[in-house]
Structure 1
Amino acid sequence: MVRRQVHDLPEIVPVVTEHRLYQRRCRCGVLTTAPAPAEATAAACYGPNVTALAAYLLTYQHLPISRAAELLAEVTGMAVSTGWVSSVLGRLAPGLAPFVEAVQAAIVAAPLAHFDETGVRVLGKNRWLHSASTLWLTVYFLHDKRGREAIDAFGILNGFAGIAVHDGYHSYRTYDLTHALCNAHHQRELQAAAETHPDQAWPTGLSDVLDELNAAAHTARDLDLSEIPDDVLTPMTGRYDTHVRTGLDLHPRNQRGHPKGGRPTQSQARRLLERLEKYRGDTLRFAFDLTVPFTNNQAERDIRMTKTQLKITGGWRTHHGATTWLTVRSYISTIRKHGLNTLTALRDAITGNPWLPTRPATT
């Protein structure tokens, strides 16, 4: 017997459900109308399934509004207007307020979280998109500024007590926390230093040590060890210190003042080496604490698709449009991290029952 299976979809045909709401007048003159289902918000409206699909196309597939309307018309047979498509996220986002609060609280309570920020265009001007995330959670925050004022308004780091993984932006340093630096950034800077100073061995040496320490951390986890064995860790960190000292000797501090006044300007190599020396513990935290990742890639992955949206649209035309898109996007990002069906979760949110995180906060 030879079996051949053809998996296909039935022809998609719109289904119209009419709700008839009876009215009765009491003897006292009061007119009472039967309550309508939550999705029946007007005399004629679109249901939660097509609304969820529109939100999915806009925020996860990054379709422009006009193309999303065209796709919905051709696939579903419903000639939705671009005006209706553009209104979907604005009606969906307010119902996600409990989700945003729950995610922010979960990240504040997490033992480790990733933080990042990037510039975005809103109303034709530069704004700052801040993100906080874990392996299971994502939340975004839009603000006019990048520094401490915006981070405080975000409301996570000022109550956070875990390990903050970031790229070394100085405003994060103003919080009395345990910090861990992104070594992907360090590797890129070390590669640039190696290309700028091909006759010096310290950039390649430091890069190799970081890679070896990362490999040792992975091996220790695979073996269910709580830490890298000391006889492996100590020689590697010793090589790290040696390469940093060598680099500092080759790039002494510039003692001459800036031509326009102020502190002397240091070379890029010197600034990198001083950072690696001053924040040695934060740079190598991944090697001393196996719960800490080598990079801040989690935050960068979570924020990357917002940059894709900007490339497609060129920016948001209103602050409200930006915040609603980011709210829905954080919901979808978190949903997908939990392996849930995105369209089902969006439909639940549209019908007033958004998914809320219940998994214990982890990295």
Structure 2
Amino acid sequence: MSHADICAPEHTDADTAALRLESEQLRRQTLTDRCVLEKLQHIPQSRTASQTGDTLHQRYQQAVERRSDLLEILLQTADVRGGELQEENRALQETVEHLRYKLKCAHYELKKALGVKASTGEEKAEDGDAPADKKQTKAAHRPRKRGAPKGHCGRSRPIPEKIDFTEEIPPPEKCDCGSHDIEPIDSFDSKYIEDIPPVSKIVTHRKYQRGQCAHCGKEVRHAEAVHGPPVIIGPNLAVHLTMMNQMGTTFRKLSVFSTRVLGAELSPSGVLGLVNRVGLSLDGSYNNLRETLRQQAVLNGDETGWKVMGKSGYIWCFCNKRIAFFHPDQSRAAAVIEKILGKDFKGIVICDFYAAYNCLGKTQRCLVHLLRDIKKERDVLSSSKLLEQFEFKVKEFIEKGLQVQTMEDGPEKERAVCKMEKRLARLTTMPVTKGKAITLQKRINKYREDLIRFVTHPDVEFHNNRAERQIRPMVISRKVSFGSNTQSGALRHCVINSIVETCKLQDIDPIEFMRRAYTSGGLNAPDICSPPAT
């Protein structure tokens, strides 16, 4: 075993310095001994000189061996230290790259918050490529000209089918030539004016006649005549104010509108009471809508923030082509989904990548959300060719999937679906930039089955735009009302929106629906839960 093997353990900086000092001393000693040995070769040989030469030669050999061992130890130490420095350098490079990426993200968010438009020039590519053509860059960033394009013929209102009144206007009194001698002819130019009659309040005096029981002699009166105030608001005004509130008009503005425009004096709290009573008459239809929701084969789901009494809350939306259902809840957890749809929901829910939807058996994750995240990353790393290719491949996957979706069931479609699965798998292994893009690849791999389900189900969309459009009125209402003051108010808001939006989807007049429900106490509301007639 050599001395280097014995001294193999790691050394501190002080130990390394001591070894270097000892090696330098041995180097000087060997040089001195070599000079002495060379001089001894040129003097006459004697016993004393021979003994001195042997001693020096033996010491020289030991010094050389010792210095060789020291150099080997120093070389091993240098190799270890070199590896450590390489690891430190690699870690520092990754840190610098991560910080540079974070800086670009922060710069992008700052520009977005300040509303700063992107510069007209393109950044130079990372590989040193020249920027894009200036003409193409200017064309891409040139603001769109306002108004209709040249050659657009325009579109006006269609001629009404029903005409209530006809007015005949005599010919003009003066010609362009200056003559006043104008004779009428049997030819007319037609214009149609659509308007509403002047709004005026209608007061109906209801006289409830009393009766007397022939059996007991008791005076009999109508229940609605006995209870309640002597002056009430009729159903037409009540449902119209409710509809306007659903569209985002505040109670205070409705109070002003009713008092000054319609002539029916109402306070903001009075309007609130009317809307609450209309909402109460819709509870039965709302509960039936919930039961129908659990029987649907395909649904879109989304949620948005909605404060209640100043505390954070949410409104959940589940909808499809015929139904829109809204539910308020303080939680955003999976338990809310199970409470709305039930724990054994068999249908497919189209949703985003929010983890609460993982409790569902079958989902179709929104591919548009995935494209938005890629687009946002491309805005940060605008010169990345890898991200550009990644975005192109995702769009290509959607286009090919829509083509396969329209194919008839059979062996040919099965082979096409297998190719789509391989195409989706390649998205998870293609080279991308570090950072968010790698996270998106992991997301694709995690939800692989939930990204391709639209290919095999013709009724399933690859995006969740339907739910986002359906929940948009809630977002607008939130900007006006800042939420609800009570939990019952949030529920009432969801009930009215569920009925109104469902009526719109089924081409049912929501005003007439609410009027019938309000006048009958919810007993004579039209059926909006039955499947469409075939």
TM-score range, shorter chain: 0.7 to 0.9
Higher strand share: 1
Q: State the match for 2:489 in structure 1.
A: 321
Q: State the match for 1:90 in structure 2.
A: 276
* C-alpha distance 201-102 of structure 1, shift in aligned 2 (>3 A): farther
Letter in 1 for 2:474: T
Shift of 1:30: 2.6
**Aligned pair partner of 2:370 in 186, 193, 200:** 186
Deviations, residues 122-141 of structure 1 (Å, cap 9, x unaligned)? 10110121111111111111
Q: State the match for 1:169 in structure 2.
A: 354
Letter in 2 for 1:91: R
**Aligned pair partner of 1:208 in 375, 392, 397:** 392
- Partner of 2:294, secondary structure, is helix
Q: State the match for 1:276 in structure 2.
A: 444
What 5-or-longer segments of structure 2 have no aligned partner?
1-186
Shift of 1:269: 2.8
Letter in 1 for 2:389: G
Q: Distance in 2 between matches of 1:201 and 1:30?
A: 91
Q: Do the aligned partners of 1:182 and 1:295 also contact (CA within 8 Å) in 2?
A: yes
1:60-209 correspondence to structure 2 within 5 Å: 60=247, 62-154=248-340, 156-175=341-360, 177-198=361-382, 200-209=384-393
- Partner of 2:439, secondary structure, is helix
How much identity, in percent, do the aligned residues show? 20
TM-score by length of 2: 0.58
Shift of 1:186: 0.4
**Aligned pair partner of 1:4 in 191, 210, 215:** 191
Q: State the match for 1:259 in structure 2.
A: none
Q: Quick check: 181-190 or 20-29, which moved more? A: 20-29
Q: State the match for 2:183 in structure 1.
A: none
Shift of 1:229: 5.3
Q: State the match for 2:212 in structure 1.
A: 25
Structure 1 residue 354 corresponds to structure 2 residue 525: yes
* C-alpha distance 41-137 of structure 1, shift in aligned 2 (>3 A): farther
Shift of 1:342: 2.4
Q: Distance in 2 between matches of 1:141 and 1:355?
A: 21
Deviations, residues 267-308 of structure 1 (Å, cap 9, x unaligned)? 533322111012112112223322210111111112121111
Q: State the match for 2:455 in structure 1.
A: 287
**Aligned pair partner of 1:242 in 402, 416, 426:** 426
Letter in 2 for 1:324: R
**Aligned pair partner of 1:335 in 485, 503, 509:** 503
Letter in 2 for 1:7: E
Shift of 1:25: 3.5
Q: Do the aligned partners of 1:102 and 1:356 also contact (CA within 8 Å) in 2?
A: no
Root mean square deviation, CA, Å: 2.8
Q: Quick check: 188-197 or 134-143, which moved more? A: 188-197
Shift of 1:94: 2.0
Q: Distance in 1 between matches of 2:219 and 2:344?
A: 52
Q: Do the aligned partners of 1:213 and 1:287 also contact (CA within 8 Å) in 2?
A: no
Shift of 1:224: 7.4
Q: Distance in 2 between matches of 1:101 and 1:321?
A: 17
* C-alpha distance 358-107 of structure 1, shift in aligned 2 (>3 A): closer
Q: State the match for 1:254 in structure 2.
A: none
- Partner of 2:313, secondary structure, is strand
Letter in 1 for 2:461: P
TM-score by length of 1: 0.84
What is the number of equivalent residue pairs in this alignment? Answer: 340
- Partner of 1:312, secondary structure, is helix
Q: Quick check: 2-11 or 207-216, which moved more? A: 207-216
Q: Do the aligned partners of 2:300 and 2:351 also contact (CA within 8 Å) in 1?
A: yes
Shift of 1:84: 1.2
Letter in 2 for 1:69: S
Shift of 1:354: 2.5
Q: State the match for 1:345 in structure 2.
A: 513
- Partner of 1:121, secondary structure, is coil
Rg (Cα) greater in structure: 2
Q: State the match for 2:202 in structure 1.
A: 15
> Which one has more relative contact order, counting CA pairs under 8 Å at least 6 apart?
1
Shift of 1:211: 2.8
